[in-house]
Structure formats: structure tokens, C-alpha cells
Amino acid sequence: MYFKLRTIALMVSLFVMSCGHINESSDIRDPHNFYKKGLSKPIAFDLDKIKARGTLRAIVFEGPTSYFLYKGQPMGFEYELLKHFAKYLDVDLKLIVAKNFDELGELLNTGEGDLIAHGFTVTLDRQKSFLFSDYLYLTKQVLVQKKPDNWRTMKLHEIDKVLKHDPIHLIGDTVTIRDHSSYKMRLENLMNEIGGLIHMNIVDSAISTDELIHLVHNGDIKYTIADNTIAKVFAYHFKDLHVSTPISFSQRASWVLRKNTSKLKAALDQWITSMKKRTDYYVIYNRYFKNRSSILRHVESDYYFNRTGQISPYDDLIKKYAEKLPWDWILLASQVYQESRFDPNAKSWARAHGLMQIMPSTAKELGIKNTANPEESLKGGTSYLLDLWKAWTSIPDYNERIKFTLASYNAGLYHIKDAVQLTKIMGGNPMLWDDHVEQAVLKLTLKKYYTLPDIKYGYVQGTEPVNYVKDILKRHRLYQSFFEEDI
């Protein structure tokens, strides 16, 4: 549904923008360039409170460099850096996926997120309302234009004659840009500098720069503006694009914070300074901005969620067999990824096999003849999950019961029953997983606990089921962030 609505919004925006040329009487100084007017007062929630909560809430965008799913795996320049920063702060990471640029200020100031992890250029107007981190990289804005249709048969000087190589040649022409963007502000300033009018077709802030670049490539619009880092990624694939005409000088690309988060900014700046001295930073940067063939293979792949709307090739099967479970298909997909990375031929050291990593003895009990068959694996795995769910009727809370069920799938029902018994012995709450039964599971790695008289099934490698539950639920939240308009 989200992708259909996005397409409709794009078509409507393109119709509306054809009527929206700016003229010389327009207000060309708009400090609200990536948020709507009427911005809320920033809440008081700095680094000390973030650490006390134990979670960094980061606002991100979907896109081929920032944050996306590929073969069910979250990826992206901002995403990878955020994982490092959260680890540096010793907190968990929660992502808030923004759908529109003009909602960013509200999401940040109301406390929905603690920072905006996106490479925004630092401007004087923006600094009036927000703090900016030390820059993560330098960029510049470039004109994205299409070469002539027959450019392959033309000589270089003939192609050059058709293209714009200086911004001054845009006077009297039309450029399509997103509302509330630094590109719009740059064009406004450019008109001042060159003393001439450039018509601006303004599209809704929900339309991404990536989509506008595709429209240039398709011939639907004439020009747009993009950061050179993004433009070069697409120009590597779309050979008919020219992205070498600069519209700005070098600019700092930084993350955005609330005005009253000086402690968070100090920690972030210190981390950025340290991170940019490490090889890890340049490996991540090169992965998304330099290794263009790799990133575009992802984007054009059937496994690229942002384009296809699918987590895996088995979404339809997962949805089909999730219907028998008392939780959503996205949670089941999160578990399938954890088990097999969506590889139906995956095999573990313990001989578990298939999408759901079913053990040979379990397969025999469930009547599964071919564990490599995706449908058989999902049918058998979900049947087993349902049996485990029914085995935990003693757990009254729905979310807690899910954790016990998942842990049982990984470690075995009776090992988790042992952990419940050990929790009672230790004076914990046997109805709660976090900090109670999960701690008992960890202790069952130690001989002095798994040899107690009341423990019937012995040793467990406790970190496996504990991490299994945490990783699936964390991935479930990530997947939900992509589907939040549909669920």
C-alpha cells in the first residue's frame, strides 16, 4: 500500500508542480527549509536521559545510501555509523523512519527522535533552530541533467554544446526540486548571485532526491539538483546522466540535533573525530559512496526492499503460514532471517536445515520429507511454533509469551522450562523473560546451576537463546519501520 500511495503522490506532485513557477516577488528567504512552520519547543532530553533510558532514538530516511533492506538485512551509510555510535554510548539503537522532510523538526523537538541521522548541509538559517554535529563528509550540490537521446553516436564536443556547464546558463530555465530542501535554498541564493530568474518546479517533500533523479533519467523532468555523492552513484548506472556541473561550493554534511542537547552534541562530535581516524569509517564510506557498482547491484536487485516492497523471495509463503500464528508475518519473517538468512539450503553445524532450520528428528516428527523445500519448511516450522505457543499458556502477557516461545524454538522447550524453575529458585519472576528467565538461561551454562536437583535437562549454551530472542525482536522493529503505514 505504501508504494502505491507513493506513486500516486508522485504523479499528483508532478501535476501540481507544473503550475508552481516562482517569480521575483516570491519570498526567497525561508528559514523553515526542512520542516513546517509552527515548530514545537524542544523538549529537555539530553545525553544523561538517553543513557538512563538505554536507547538512542535516531531519525533516518529510506534510500540507497542512508538506510535500506537488502536480502532482509538492514544496510546504509547512516545505519552503519549509528550502530557504531550507539555502541560508543553503550545504549541500544532504535530507528525512526521519516516519510517526509517537513516532519523532521517536529519529530526531533517533540522527542520522537534524539537526532536526525542524515547528511544535511549546515546553513546559517538552519543553525538558528538546530544544532549540527561535526561534519561526516564534504559534499557539493550538482545539476543533474540528461544527455541527448542519441548521445552515444555524438562526439564529446557535440554533447557538451547541449549540456549546461555553468549555473548562469540556467537563467530562464526550469529546475525541479523538493520543497523544504537545501537545494531550494541554494537555487534562491544562486538567483541572487547571478542576477537572473530560474523557474523552480517545487515538488512535495515526500518525493525523494532519488526519485527526482529517476525522473530526469526517464525524461519526465529536465533538471534537478542533488548532492554529488548521491548523483555520482546514479550516474554510474544511468550513463545518460551528466552530474558534473557544480551548483555550490563544498558544504559540510552533518547530523542534526535539538538546540538544547549540548552534551549529546559533544559526545557525537568526539565520536566523529575518533571514528574518522579509523579504517572502519572509510570502509563504510567507500561501501556506499565509492563502490558504486556494488550499491547499484543492491538497488536493482529483486532483494532491494525499497524498490520491490518485499523483505524476501518468500514473503507470500511467510504470510500464508503466519496466518495460523497469533502474531504478524513480519515477526515470522524476522525469525526466518535469523534462522537461515532466507536461504532454503542453509545448514547448521548441528544439521538443522532449511528456511526454518528444522532438526532431522523434528522434521521426522512433523512429517517433513524435504527440509530444503521452502513451503515444507515453513509449514513444519510454524506448526512447531504453534505447539510451543500452546505450551506457554501459563504466561499471561502476550509479548512475554512470544519471547518464551521463540526461546523454546531455539533452545528446546524443556531447557526453557528448566530456566523457569531456576528463576523460581533464585527468587525471580518466572513470568518475565527480560532480566529474569533470560538470566536463568545464561546461568544454565554453568555446572553449579545445571547440576542442581530441580534442573532436569542439564547444560544450555545460554547466550544463544538469549541473543536469539533479542535479535529477532530487534529485527522485527526494523522491519516494522518499513511497513508502518501498512500494519
Q: Which residues contact 76 (CB under 8 A, 6 or more apart)?
A: 60, 63, 65, 66, 67, 68, 288
Strands 141-146 and 223-227, how do they pair? antiparallel
**Residues with catalytic annotation?**
339
Vertex 213 angle, CA 37 and 191, to 5°: 55
Residue 22 is predicted with a pLDDT of: 31
Residue 307 is predicted with a pLDDT of: 67
pLDDT confidence tier of residue 486, bands split at 50, 70 and 90:
very low
Q: What is the mean predicted confidence (pLDDT) over 73-83?
A: 91
Q: Position 389: which residue type?
A: W
Q: What is the mean predicted confidence (pLDDT) over 151-165?
A: 92
**Measured distance between the N- and C-terminal CA atoms of the chain, rounded to whole angstroms:** 10
- Nearest Cα to Cα of residue 132 among 143, 144, 141, 119: 119
Q: What is the mean predicted confidence (pLDDT) over 259-283?
A: 96
pLDDT digits (tens, 9 = 90+) for 367-417: 888 989 999 999 999 999 999 999 999 999 999 999 999 999 999 999 999
pLDDT digits (tens, 9 = 90+) for 272-299: 999 999 999 999 998 888 776 666 666 6
**Alpha carbon separation from 381 to 85, 335, 373 (Å, rounded):** 36, 10, 12
Residue 23 is predicted with a pLDDT of: 30
Matching residue, cell 548521491 = 230
What rounded mean pLDDT belongs to the chain? 86
Largest separation between any pair of C-alpha atoms in the chain: 87
Question: Taking 60 as the threshold, does the pLDDT of residue 37 lie above it?
Answer: no
- Nearest Cα to Cα of residue 170 among 146, 131, 147, 143: 143
- Nearest Cα to Cα of residue 335 among 405, 395, 264: 405
Residue 364 is predicted with a pLDDT of: 86
Question: Taking 90 as the threshold, does the pLDDT of residue 70 lie above it?
Answer: no
Q: What is the mean predicted confidence (pLDDT) over 406-434?
A: 95
Question: Taking 70 as the threshold, does the pLDDT of residue 195 lie above it?
Answer: yes
pLDDT digits (tens, 9 = 90+) for 362-371: 888 888 889 8
- Nearest Cα to Cα of residue 184 among 167, 201, 166: 201
Question: pTM of the predicted model, to two decimals?
Answer: 0.69
- Nearest Cα to Cα of residue 223 among 173, 297, 291, 290: 173
Cell of 9: 503522490
Q: Position 37: which residue type?
A: K
pLDDT digits (tens, 9 = 90+) for 449-473: 988 999 998 888 888 899 999 999 9
The larger pLDDT score, comparing residue 292 to residue 46, is at 46
